[in-house]
Amino acid sequence: MFKKILIANRGEIACRVIKTARKMGIKTVAVYSDADREAMHVRMADEAVRIGPPPSAQSYLLIDAIVDACRKTGAEAVHPGYGFLSERTAFAGALEKAGIIFIGPKPHAITAMGDKIASKRLAAAAGVNTIPGYTDIIRDSAHAVEVARDIGYPVMLKASAGGGGKGMRVARNDAECRDGFERASSEAQASFGDSRVFAEKYIEEPRHIEIQVLADAHGNTLYLNERECSIQRRHQKVIEEAPSPFLDAKTRKAMGEQAVSLAKAVQYESAGTVEFVVDQQRNFYFLEMNTRLQVEHPVTELVTGLDLVELMIRVAAGEKLPMTQKDVQLKGWAMEARVYAEDPFRNFLPSIGRLVRCQPPAEGAHVRVDTGVEEGSEVSMFYDPMIAKLITSGDTRDEAITHMVNALDEYVIRGVAHNISFLNALIQLPRFKEGRMSTNLIAEEYPDGFHAADVPRENPALFAVMAAVVNRKFLDRAALVSGQLPSHERIVGDDYVVIVNKESHKVVVKPSGKGWLVTHEGRKYSVATSWKFGEPLLYADIDGRSACFQVERLASRYRISHRGAQVDAQVLTPRGAELSRHMLVKAPPNLSKFLLSPMPGLLVRLAVKAGQEVKAGEEICVVEAMKMENRLCALDDVTIAKVLVTQGQSLVVDQPIVEFK
């Protein structure tokens, strides 16, 4: 077994690998860019080596720098994690040449599966079901239309070297095909340095289900059952689970055996994932093979009881797999939600900044948190804005969902925007709870984007009730101030008006035993809580039912969060509420004559100039953010008064791009 390994990655996956290596008694080496010099993975590792400035291309993607770090520290092997260099043949080859073990498949397998066109041909030859399509390179947009017509709309245009949802477009007609080819080709070139695009039939109402495979160098290959990854936004996975609520035993076995056939065809060693698209009749078709550890691997670990990172390390060290196919068990249910620093109410705009407060839910029998950040960490503009992977488990799917909803309630994040409201809303969708899902679910449920009104509120009155209770506790404490004149002590009343979203709620709060008796619009609630001032989480017993709320005091208001919903409540006396109706409200500035950048990014194309008339639907500019191109088009016929930026300029969120007349 190795004595020391280097982790060629950062963030949560680097921390995840370090934990297993530590458990195995293996020393670890972290690498870091200047932006990550104080990062959690750097402090967790036994040694750390600086490899360059913040941009990935100048640090985490530098093969020579990582090989050199291995030589300096004496690391015998490298775990690549996911992303960065994990699926680069050149990296695996460079390590092999330097006599360093790559904890992953051999270079030939990475090459075979790294090209989507070549991998489809190999899969078909290995007897794996493939989607009808055109696997040669599409020359231009006119050729794309010709190919699409032969296949039959709708078609999916995909970058040959693609991954992570980049370089993919669905086309349902000739116009969408031409534009989709240009966008997919451009994104592919920007993301992978390879503009090649191919086409395949787009499966309606598809599910994305993947099979985890594991193979050693002694001819043993097996599958660890499936993961359901259909909940996606713009081809990026949001929630994953194992097993799939859709598969039956027969389909699971057939998919697993085909995945094993493909792995054997490329002499695969290590952990890998074969992804399939599955239609509503349970017909399944090969999508691609990821020759690395998947982001969502924890759900497989929880339902099989296996440590995939440990098995990868043991296979790389030449050991045989310690189990056979019949030993693979499937116990209970597991679910993973990706917690990101992004604002779901602003079209999922990435959020950067410092985590001024970060308190994950307590880990235990049913909750696991894989993270690479902590309170005080900075979410950088240079890398993926993932905060954590929140994983829950239970004996049944309903139990895993219940634990997930409760854990999301308990996840405290301040300083950056986050997607917990969105995750909570998804988990509570009837379609999700019933297992009726496809990769189109998010687009169908939120066709106009995600808004505050989309967050379900099981009982809106609870927010007013809890705001009134918290306010009463503050007032009761204030009434204890020393030095009050006899017979003029402060008296705290019982009657309040709670203003939530401009709506007034009449609430009466009276002490009752060890808690409070709260009357809201005639309905009585018994509330007991041991909450102390300054704690972000308020656990309460409400009419015998436990609930968790997040509480913040903001000047004269209280911010209450529960089940993904968040309200700002103002608690006043009846007289104060009467007077508040006369307070002036400052009107926000009128920005309707400006096109604002919806995200931080690079202005890669500016299609207009001052004085130009632009028709509704015509392109004004293209902003690239996180390697995705975003076209900004005119909503109405307009005339450009001023152009306020230049092509190639880096933009911040809400920066004015053009002014209209």
Q: What residues are annotated to the active site?
A: 288
Rg (CA), the chain: 27
Tokens of 339: 């917690």
In degrees and rounded to multiples of 5, residue 242 shows phi and psi of -140, 135
Do residues 296 and 229 touch, judged by C-beta distance below 8 A? yes
Tokens of 480: 């204890």
Q: Which residue from 405, 339, 341 is spatially nearest to 367, judged by alpha carbons? A: 405
Q: Which residues pair with 518 in a beta bridge?
A: 509, 525
b (16+ CB within 10 A) / e for 236-268? ebbbbbbbbbbbeeebbeebbebbbebbebbeb
Do residues 569 and 558 touch, judged by C-beta distance below 8 A? yes
Opening angle at CA 82, ends 26 and 343, nearest 5:
120
The CA dihedral of 187, 191, 195, 196, to the nearest 10 degrees, is -100
List strand residue ranges (DSSP E) for 8-55, in order. 27-33, 47-52
Opening angle at CA 57, ends 93 and 14, nearest 5:
70
Largest CA distance in the chain: 93
Query: In sequence order, which residues have a C-beta less than 8 Å from that of residue 448 and are 6 or more positions away?
Result: none
**Rounded-to-integer distance, Cα 657 and Cα 633, Å:** 12
Do residues 37 and 49 touch, judged by C-beta distance below 8 A? no
b (16+ CB within 10 A) / e for 497-509? bbbbeeebbbbbb
Q: Which residue from 289, 318, 322, 326 is spatially nearest to 306, judged by alpha carbons? A: 322
Per-residue H/E/C for 566-630? EEEEEEECHHHHHHHCCCCCCCCCCCCCEEECCCCEEEEEECCCCCCEECCCCEEEEEEECCEEE
Dihedral angle sign, alpha carbons of residues 155, 241, 119, 131:
negative
Q: Which residue from 87, 57, 162 is spatially nearest to 382, judged by alpha carbons? A: 57
